[in-house]
Structure 1
């Protein structure tokens, strides 16, 4: 088959009946869609937070009051506002209140240190910060000059009886520091600030696989397009109940769950921390219909003693994203629950999801087919020409959900976008292949690929082979520079508890020799008690590479 198959979009035949081939973003901005959706459902429950119900009408008034409070502090349209909070009703109010007032949300991981926070606030030029009370000390150490900091006690969002069990933290004092409740004293801002579809709505930062994280410009049109694209293939409705434990600061939880759920009139069950016990109990109590997880969580749930409480068959959707779903995890989960996990794919730059497995046609080992409106190519990283179908190349995407670019990074933008067939494509940096049915398969990050004597070696392939060993719990592989061969693979392995001190490097090498070509075999295997993780649970190859390059133990 030739590269013309990419343009023919063979995946279209696997769309459910009635699914459009393309999706255009709605007119207007996010504030308008919030107003329409929330007014239509005023008396219905929007979210549950540890037993307390919040209705759409209640949230809408809170959004309007918070927006009014921000404007009273001096916020102007286009001003950036840092959001340094765990999942909570306050996160929803602040996020949507910032957009209602015409501001731009700069979501920050609550796991970030003061140093990481400082970079994000300074790089974005944020004038304001909404910060959780438990994170105030970190925020104050960041040393960034702000016009105002709004301090949020999450305790106030809990049911009254639960507040008695939570220790109150002293609210900080000082110029420019405001308690959360103070911003709700102003009269509601009745209508959202007018914005255009091309105006900036959010400025999330990438994980920084190389160098410092970069701001990704997400417009109102990007968000509305992404929502419509997701809805066209896996719709939420008023009957949907979504477990919202994925972090809202991350594009996955932010666009798919928080915005997608609320704009669709669904109910969210919100967790500040992803405790597996609470999640499984809530699935039963609230009769969840949609479950969105990450591979590391499915690893936990497959062996969890309470997993049998859940009638997994009644769930409409069981989805995995944010990292590669390993074959062993998917098979063990299906054996335990009877459900196949539908793997998806997306990036911050694609405003969350770009691919998903159709619920009625899941292909194990594939991250699925493009959403309506997405154009996908697999190209040679050097020439940017499409490679033959079935061959590995770099994934390139075009569509209305694709970021307009990186914040103040013109050189990066020049490298990351190219034109072909009259469309503007974004280079994802991921090595994939498309099969003849139009399903896409992930190989590795282009920057993680190891060149051994000129041959490409994919760390993920070695990691998958290691994880197939019944006594290997986790694995990470990186390249070690070597002038004689270019680079050779080194593996870091975490064994199951009962195997530690018993399984040797030679045992694993013998296991790998049966599964990998000789040039793919790691030259070294180092055992660890744990591996560094990113804040969404991926093994952090960047940190492992830094150890190798710096000679750290």
Structure 2
């Protein structure tokens, strides 16, 4: 018996028999069983399971009239809203593949999500449509988008809503503005209202467990983001497992505030909730007092989050007026939960914060803390059906309990490989004890109880409030700035975000009058806000190895030394 099995929740199997159906079937079955049950709540407006399914079918039929065929990739880019859920399932119902895209990306970044997956159709919100048009129009004609389906936030809620369900006043313009349809060169923009009014029948459902369902992108140590090929079966495993792990039932009420374009929100929140026919209360982005009101008003039972959200909510001056007594499951990942905050949740609410761990490549959790027996500041134990080990990254031999090594993962939730990147796929996997294991690139250790702990990163990555920032990607974007001769991205300490992004920059001789603020402002225009360097340091030269490579580790170590001294 593996050591962690003695702490396994007794109510749960160690491995799962996964349904031999597509992800679409989860929505169809929930709608058949609970047609009039509320599926989605958005600023007070509700959508039943029947309405969600029928809307997704009409949108699927419309996508087919635009030329979507089995296996085609369709980009989906929006903040959390009912349209994201409906569009996600519509793409699957059209026998196509969802390419989830971070809505914080700017035009320069979006080009890659058009060209790499050969995307011809994207679905987005009015506030983001101009970025997609700018990205598409800048590409060679043969690589551009052909169709852009655009929804407005007010397609899904009443802008005049008041009371506990009302959005914060600061969001009024962002959510309430109805943007005109943009003009797409050599293509066409379509209004969401027209798309979901489609009267055609969708084609027969032709996809199953083996077919590609999702192509989420993940960055890495080199270059541009890579698409992770997830068939229906890998997402299905973690959707079912997450539902069971969090005591899923049709009577659960889930708060969806972690972004559903991201693998955790998409699988552990959206897919797990739809599978068990739970009600999803949707927040488009974080606001602590809105979260407090919605948990109280809708009696939320399950809340997956990042620890900074919990810290922020507990610090609200209105916190005493919120009723959190309905919560039965609270957990998350992306950053460690401070021990004092976890203790306060336990003492005041009897809630054990269950941290988890996973990657885009593992469809979110590969490890999770048992809700009944979590350890603090811990990744948890290997998830259902999962075998995880700690190996020496050089010898590829398993290391003894308690020793540091690279975490490797084998299980049905592991992706099939990187899109169009057989080289990267080959280097991401190893054969170990006759099985194919994914190399996480994270260094950790396993204790005597079988719980895993993160100790360091083998990969070069910055964790800013749970957002992964990959320095190579930021550097590649910064090199487009006319004043930048060289740039190296490192992590700097941040009291709220944990880590933040720092750029060490060498200016061109012709642009020596450029200021740090000008660099930061340019970055805000050209990249997602969480990637933008908060600190810019100008230097005459970057340290280089004998082969001419920038020695980023030397810069990182001097930053850490300066912080320790301060």
Q: Return the TM-score normalized by structure 1.
A: 0.79
CA, structure 1 residues 158+410, in 2 after alignment: closer, same or farther (shift >3 Å)? same
Choose which of 172, 176, 182 in structure 2 pairs with 1:172.
182
Question: Is residue 331 of structure 2 the alignment partner of residue 319 of structure 1?
Answer: yes
CA, structure 1 residues 421+208, in 2 after alignment: closer, same or farther (shift >3 Å)? closer
CA, structure 1 residues 275+495, in 2 after alignment: closer, same or farther (shift >3 Å)? closer
Question: Is residue 159 of structure 2 the alignment partner of residue 149 of structure 1?
Answer: no
Choose which of 308, 321, 325 in structure 1 pairs with 2:320.
308
Choose which of 88, 101, 106 in structure 1 pairs with 2:94.
101
Q: Is the 2:15–2:385 contact (alpha carbons within 8 Å) kept by the matching residues of 1?
A: yes
CA, structure 1 residues 351+545, in 2 after alignment: closer, same or farther (shift >3 Å)? farther
Q: C-alpha distance in 1, partners of 2:413/2:134?
A: 36
Q: Is the 1:114–1:141 contact (alpha carbons within 8 Å) kept by the matching residues of 2?
A: yes
Q: C-alpha distance in 2, partners of 1:156/1:544?
A: 45
Q: C-alpha distance in 1, partners of 2:302/2:433?
A: 37
CA, structure 1 residues 539+16, in 2 after alignment: closer, same or farther (shift >3 Å)? farther
Q: C-alpha distance in 2, partners of 1:316/1:153?
A: 34
Q: Is the 2:181–2:189 contact (alpha carbons within 8 Å) kept by the matching residues of 1?
A: no
Q: Is the 1:367–1:441 contact (alpha carbons within 8 Å) kept by the matching residues of 2?
A: yes
TM-superposed CA distance for 1:388, in Å, is 0.7
Q: C-alpha distance in 2, partners of 1:494/1:171?
A: 40
Q: C-alpha distance in 1, partners of 2:494/2:183?
A: 46
Q: Is the 2:296–2:324 contact (alpha carbons within 8 Å) kept by the matching residues of 1?
A: no
CA, structure 1 residues 118+416, in 2 after alignment: closer, same or farther (shift >3 Å)? same
- Partner of residue 454, structure 2: 442
Q: Mean Cα displacement is larger for which, 215-224 or 163-172?
A: 163-172
TM-superposed CA distance for 1:342, in Å, is 1.2
Question: Is residue 492 of structure 2 the alignment partner of residue 492 of structure 1?
Answer: yes
Q: C-alpha distance in 2, partners of 1:493/1:420?
A: 37
Question: Is residue 79 of structure 2 the alignment partner of residue 69 of structure 1?
Answer: no
- Partner of residue 134, structure 1: 127
Q: C-alpha distance in 2, partners of 1:224/1:29?
A: 8
Q: C-alpha distance in 2, partners of 1:22/1:269?
A: 30
- Partner of residue 429, structure 1: 441
TM-superposed CA distance for 1:26, in Å, is 1.4
CA, structure 1 residues 495+344, in 2 after alignment: closer, same or farther (shift >3 Å)? closer
Q: Is the 2:234–2:414 contact (alpha carbons within 8 Å) kept by the matching residues of 1?
A: yes
- Partner of residue 195, structure 2: 183
Deviations 1:11-32 (A, max 9, x none): 1222222311211321121122
- Partner of residue 201, structure 1: 213
Q: C-alpha distance in 2, partners of 1:545/1:45?
A: 55
CA, structure 1 residues 206+58, in 2 after alignment: closer, same or farther (shift >3 Å)? same
Q: C-alpha distance in 1, partners of 2:437/2:538?
A: 29
Deviations 1:31-73 (A, max 9, x none): 2222112221111100100000100000111010000000011
- Partner of residue 521, structure 1: none
Q: C-alpha distance in 1, partners of 2:291/2:414?
A: 32
Q: C-alpha distance in 2, partners of 1:345/1:189?
A: 41
Aligned residue for 1:299, secondary structure, equals: helix
Aligned residue for 2:376, secondary structure, equals: coil
Mapping for residues 286-435 of structure 1, pairs under 5 Å? 286-327=298-339, 329-331=341-343, 339-435=351-447
- Unmatched tracts of structure 1, length 5 or more: 1-7, 450-458, 464-475, 479-489, 497-529
TM-superposed CA distance for 1:81, in Å, is 0.4
Question: Is residue 289 of structure 2 the alignment partner of residue 277 of structure 1?
Answer: yes
Q: Is the 2:133–2:183 contact (alpha carbons within 8 Å) kept by the matching residues of 1?
A: no
TM-superposed CA distance for 1:402, in Å, is 0.4
Q: Is the 2:289–2:313 contact (alpha carbons within 8 Å) kept by the matching residues of 1?
A: no
Q: C-alpha distance in 2, partners of 1:337/1:326?
A: 17
Q: C-alpha distance in 2, partners of 1:423/1:98?
A: 33
Aligned residue for 2:459, secondary structure, equals: helix
CA, structure 1 residues 540+353, in 2 after alignment: closer, same or farther (shift >3 Å)? farther
Q: C-alpha distance in 1, partners of 2:315/2:530?
A: 18
Q: Is the 2:404–2:444 contact (alpha carbons within 8 Å) kept by the matching residues of 1?
A: yes
Aligned residue for 1:19, secondary structure, equals: coil
Question: Is residue 229 of structure 2 the alignment partner of residue 217 of structure 1?
Answer: yes
- Partner of residue 481, structure 2: none
TM-superposed CA distance for 1:198, in Å, is 1.6
Aligned residues: 479
- Partner of residue 487, structure 1: none
